[in-house]
């Protein structure tokens, strides 16, 4: 599944923790936006951990699930490309 994850987290420490966690699953395409191409089990792992990292009274994380035809219609201008990776990223 292709998922766009967007977040708005006012606390620097939590925002950094969320960003570092999401880097394991997708590509950081804009300041608070990741594109992730995931298996269902990886999506569950990603989203469950995000809920534990967040303050549900202050933070907002959104998941936009795109079907294959919609992914094919993503347009980008300037630098950056749409990511198509079927496994979590490995941090070096």
The C-alpha atoms of residue 68 and residue 71 are separated, in whole angstroms, by 5
Q: Residues 55-65: pLDDT tens digits?
A: 999 999 999 99
In order of their start, the domains of the chain are: 2-72 (3.30.70.240)
Residues 6+ apart with CB under 8 A from 68: 2
pTM of the model: 0.82
Tell me the two tokens of residue 14. 């939590």
Q: Can you list the residues of the chain whose pLDDT is less than 70?
A: 80-92
- pLDDT at position 79, please? 72
């Amino acid at each position: 599944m292709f998922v766009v994850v967007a977040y708005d987290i006012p606390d620097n420490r939590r925002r950094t923790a969320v960003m570092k966690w999401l880097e394991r699953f997708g590509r950081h395409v804009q300041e608070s936006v990741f594109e992730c191409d995931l298996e269902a089990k990886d999506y569950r792992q990603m989203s469950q951990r995000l809920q534990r990292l967040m303050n549900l009274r202050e933070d907002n994380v959104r998941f936009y699930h795109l079907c294959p035809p919609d992914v094919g219609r993503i347009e980008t201008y300037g630098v950056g490309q749409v990511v198509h990776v079927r496994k979590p990223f490995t941090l070096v």
